Amino acid sequence: GAVVSQHPSWVICKSGTSVKIECRSLDFQATTMFWYRQFPKQSLMLMATSNEGSKATYEQGVEKDKFLINHASLTLSTLTVTSAHPEDSSFYICSARSPTEAFFGQGTRLTVV
Amino acid sequence: DAKTTQPPSMDCAEGRAANLPCNHSTISGNEYVYWYRQIHSQGPQYIIHGLKNNETNEMASLIITEDRKSSTLILPHATLRDTAVYYCIVRGSNAGNMLTFGGGTRLMVKP
């Protein structure tokens, strides 16, 4: 079946640095990808919708200047957490839609120390 | 997309059928019922989806009531590896629609 690959699976970074997370659709083209964030024992919360060739659409309360999204090709979207702080520590998950269903990446566990 | 209601947690004995209910009383005619599950520290995994008819695949069966206001996901022979949070999601057929996750049901399969 279709696969979405997310990298890295975990990352530890120092406060104030930036971290880039990649999301690739491996065997289908995705004009739209989605980025979610999940805090411990909570459900997934949509952060933004990534559109190939255009600006991302951010959910209310999500800072677009802090969470930079780039969707430069039909198979790759990236999320960069800029000037990360400990409160940004979370599980970040991307999703890509095929015509019939949504597939999710493995998730990235970000820990900011 | 319509809102769904699921019990927060359920237990099931290994080898028995796990029946996970979902209420979606405000579902509209063109909205599908999707089920995903999330094993700890992993991304959600697609299980099954349906519109009106009952569906079955290698993972599970989906039973949708005739009025479509509720559905049940059935794992016929639960194993310990089926322990996960199961999400019932209702969404339209537009490929651009994102999935909105509720609280889900935490299924614990016990030996």
Confidence at residue A102, expressed as pLDDT on a 0 to 100 scale: 85
The residue-averaged pLDDT of B66-80 equals 97
Q: How far is CA B37 from CA A77, A94, B40, B47, B57, in A?
A: 23, 15, 10, 7, 15
Confidence at residue A81, expressed as pLDDT on a 0 to 100 scale: 98
Q: Is A49 on the interface with B (CB under 8 A)?
A: yes
Searching chain B, which residue's CA lies closest to the CA of residue A90? B41
The residue-averaged pLDDT of B28-39 equals 92
The residue-averaged pLDDT of B31-48 equals 94
Does residue B97 register a pLDDT over 90?
no
Q: Work out the pLDDT band at B29, boundaries 50, 70, 90.
A: confident
Q: Is A99 on the interface with B (CB under 8 A)?
A: yes
Sequence-ordered list of residues with C-beta below 8 angstroms from that of B49, at least 6 positions apart, any chain: A101, B32, B33, B34, B35, B55, B62
Q: Work out the pLDDT band at B1, boundaries 50, 70, 90.
A: low
Pair of tokens at residue A38: 């999940």
Chain B neighbors of A11, CB-CB under 8 A: none
Shortest distance between the Cα of A103 and any Cα of chain B, in A, equals 7
The residue-averaged pLDDT of B76-91 equals 96
**CA-to-CA distance for B74 and B90, rounded, in angstroms?**
17
Pair of tokens at residue A95: 């999703």
Query: What is the rounded average pLDDT for all residues in chain A?
Result: 92
More confident residue, A33 or A102: A33
Confidence at residue B98, expressed as pLDDT on a 0 to 100 scale: 78
- Report the share of chain A in percent with pLDDT over 70: 98
Does residue B96 register a pLDDT over 70?
no
Q: Work out the pLDDT band at B30, boundaries 50, 70, 90.
A: confident
Please name the member of A4, A97, A106 whose beta carbon is closest to the beta carbon of B95. A97
Confidence at residue A1, expressed as pLDDT on a 0 to 100 scale: 59
Confidence at residue B94, expressed as pLDDT on a 0 to 100 scale: 66
Does residue B95 register a pLDDT over 60?
no
Does residue B106 register a pLDDT over 60?
yes
The residue-averaged pLDDT of B66-91 equals 96
Residue closest to A26 by CA, chosen among A100, A107, A103: A103
Cβ–Cβ < 8 Å for B29, B87: no
Please name the member of A32, A46, A105 whose beta carbon is closest to the beta carbon of B96. A32
Q: Work out the pLDDT band at A9, boundaries 50, 70, 90.
A: very high
Cβ separation B101–A43 shorter than 8 A: yes
Confidence at residue B2, expressed as pLDDT on a 0 to 100 scale: 66
CA A3, chain centre distance (Å)? 15
The residue-averaged pLDDT of A39-68 equals 93
